[in-house]
């Protein structure tokens, strides 16, 4: 018997999630998956508990109630919203629907891992365009486009770099793409940027731009798996054809809706993140460790070299602090540190200071 997977499948390197445990260390802080240290809104938790009484009932297939909340709070047309099991699922819908064998899926050099994985799963060819000093380079992306480019994924802000480009640069990219290519703006961290519309105006003015969003980051619901996409009606109608009818559970739909409506809680998380991020970047700089200005809920700190990053990661682990090595993203001399609460951030700074002190 010879069971052979489709071309591309065996080229997929398994996604590496952030570590969660350190053997032998009890008091662990997980700063490796860009989760919200404060968890979800209390209203989301109440909605989740209430939904427990309805576990025997199939969930909504249209997600209408959640889409309505998203529409009201985000100022988008709910008819042009699609919900998925995390934004990961929306990314994979896009690849299955729009890219196949012979097609190219373009992403940035240090772009989020799921673009490559989903492109390969769909039989398409992932193509990486260089960045300029860890920042999305519109000219390099445009130069990398061919007549086979079907999707161009940009995370803005980007994971794992934390950097972002302006709306004017996004518009220049959208304008310069070949006509068979769609620009996908991944806004997993968009809520952390005060005043950023995540590309909404661009989407409303064109028919080849789409956005993906998530409840896993600022809304603190990573464990429930809820994401959404917004874009032109023709793309939404296409993606809905391949979406499983019950792709989101009832409790997930209810909790996400309550989280979206608790704007005050989201605002509090945004401002606390910004406060701790500025503090942590400043403290790291004082220790001689540079990082790019981050617009997200993490900082990508640069160590002297790969050996120092590996040693620093091991030292932090020994102190119960789990951060994210990013060698798989081509950044082996860097560590990505998710913003924790104040106590966690202070622990990280003290531990890194001790590590640097031991070196000298």
Considering only 59-67, 83-91, 99-107, 302-310, which stretch makes contact with ligand PMP by CB under 6 A?
Answer: 83-91
Phi then psi for residue 210, to 5 deg, are -140, 150
Min separation Cβ 333 and ligand PMP, Å = 20
Q: How many of the chain's residues bind ligand PMP (CB under 6 A)?
A: 13
CB of 187 within 8 A of CB of 156?
yes
CB atoms within 10 A of CB 205: 10
- Vertex 31: Cα angle to 216 and 41 (nearest 5): 40
Distances in Å between the Cα of 52 and the Cα atoms of 32, 56, 248, 252 are 30, 9, 15, 11
> At closest approach, how far in Å is the CB of 198 from ligand PMP?
12
- CB burial of 101-115 (b: ≥16 within 10 Å; e: otherwise) equals eebbbbbbbbbbbbb
Query: 87 vs 136, which CB is nearer to ligand PMP?
Result: 87
Q: Does 230 bind ligand PMP (CB under 6 A)?
A: no
Stretch of 57-65, 133-141, 214-222, 261-269 contacting ligand PMP, by CB under 6 A: 214-222
- Closest contact distance (angstroms) between CB of 152 and ligand PMP is 14
Give the CA distances from residue 120 to residues 103, 140, 238, 277, 351, in Å, rounded to whole numbers and listed in that order: 10, 22, 20, 35, 40
**Least distance in Å: CB of 226 to ligand PMP?**
7
Among 108, 214, 291, 295, contact with ligand PMP (rule: CB under 6 A): 214
∠ CA 204-239-87, nearest 5°, is: 80
155 binds ligand PMP (CB under 6 A): yes
- Least Å from the CB of residue 188 to ligand PMP: 4
Q: Which is nearer to ligand PMP, 116 or 319 (CB)?
A: 116
Contact call for residue 191 and ligand PMP (CB under 6 A): no
Picking from 217, 129, 215, 134, the residue whose alpha carbon sits closest to that of residue 173 is 129
Decide whether 114 or 145 has the Cβ nearer to ligand PMP.
114
Query: Residue 186, interface with ligand PMP (CB under 6 A)?
Result: yes
User: Which residues make Cβ contacts (< 8 Å) with residue 134, sequence separation at least 6?
Assistant: 110, 161, 163, 292, 300, 331
Single residue of 86, 162, 251, 325 touching ligand PMP by CB under 6 A: 86
Residue 87 contacts ligand PMP per CB under 6 A = yes
| 136 in contact with ligand PMP (CB under 6 A) | no
Least distance from ligand PMP to the Cβ atom of residue 3, Å: 29
Contact flag: residue 259 with ligand PMP (CB under 6 A): no
Of these, 112, 230, 265, 329, which contacts ligand PMP (CB under 6 A)? Answer: 112
Could you give the angle at the alpha carbon of 205 between the alpha carbons of 181 and 261, nearest 5°? Answer: 105
The correct pick among 216, 247, 273, 297 for binding ligand PMP (CB under 6 A) is: 216
As given in the structure block, the two tokens for residue 271 are 């401002």
Strands 149-155 and 125-129: unpaired
**Partner residues linked to 153 by β-bridges:** 107, 184
Are the beta carbons of 158 and 295 closer than 8 angstroms? no
Is the previous residue joined to 160 through a cis bond, with omega within 30 degrees of 0? yes
Nearer to ligand PMP, 339 or 351 (CB): 339
Least distance to ligand PMP from the beta carbon of 134, Å? Answer: 14
Phi, psi of 125 (to 5 degrees): -110, 115
Which of residues 88, 103, 104, 257 is near ligand PMP by CB under 6 A? 88
337 binds ligand PMP (CB under 6 A): no
Q: Establish if 163 lies at the interface with ligand PMP (CB under 6 A).
A: no
Q: Does 222 bind ligand PMP (CB under 6 A)?
A: yes
For tokens 């600022």, the residue is 218
Positions in the binding site for ligand PMP (CB under 6 A): 34, 86-88, 112, 155, 159, 186, 188, 214, 216, 222, 227
């Amino acid at each position: 018997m010879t069971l052979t997977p489709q071309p591309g499948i065996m080229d997929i390197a398994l996604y590496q999630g952030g570590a969660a445990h350190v053997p032998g260390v009890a008091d662990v802080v997980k700063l490796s998956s860009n989760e919200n240290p404060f968890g979800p809104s209390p209203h989301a938790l109440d909605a989740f508990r209430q939904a427990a009484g309805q576990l025997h009932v199939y969930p909504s297939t249209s997600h209408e109630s959640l889409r309505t909340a998203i529409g009201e709070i985000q100022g988008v047309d709910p008819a042009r919203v699609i919900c998925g099991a995390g934004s990961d699922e929306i990314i994979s819908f896009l690849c299955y629907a729009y890219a196949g064998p012979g097609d190219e899926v373009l992403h940035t050099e240090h772009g989020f891992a799921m673009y490559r994985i989903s492109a390969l799963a769909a039989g398409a060819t992932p193509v990486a365009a260089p960045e300029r000093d860890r920042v999305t380079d519109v000219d390099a992306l445009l130069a990398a486009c061919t007549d086979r480019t079907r999707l161009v994924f940009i995370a803005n802000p980007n994971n794992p770099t934390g950097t972002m480009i302006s709306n004017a640069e996004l518009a220049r990219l959208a304008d310069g793409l070949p006509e068979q290519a769609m620009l996908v703006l991944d806004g997993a961290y968009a809520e952390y940027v005060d005043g950023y519309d995540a590309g909404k105006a661009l989407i409303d003015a064109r028919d080849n731009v789409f956005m993906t969003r998530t409840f896993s980051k600022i809304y603190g619901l990573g464990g429930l798996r809820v994401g959404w996409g917004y874009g032109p009606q023709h793309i939404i109608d296409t993606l809905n054809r391949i979406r499983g009818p019950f792709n989101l559970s009832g409790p997930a739909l209810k909790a996400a809706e309550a989280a979206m409506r608790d704007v005050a809680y989201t605002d509090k998380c945004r401002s606390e993140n910004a406060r701790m991020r500025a503090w942590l970047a400043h403290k790291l700089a004082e220790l001689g460790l540079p990082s790019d200005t981050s617009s997200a809920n993490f900082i990508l700190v640069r160590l002297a070299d790969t050996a120092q990053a590996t040693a620093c990661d091991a030292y932090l682990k020994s102190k119960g602090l789990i951060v994210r090595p990013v060698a798989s993203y081509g950044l082996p001399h860097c560590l990505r540190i998710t913003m924790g609460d104040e106590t966690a951030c202070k622990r990280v700074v003290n531990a890194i200071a001790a590590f640097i002190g031991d070196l000298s």
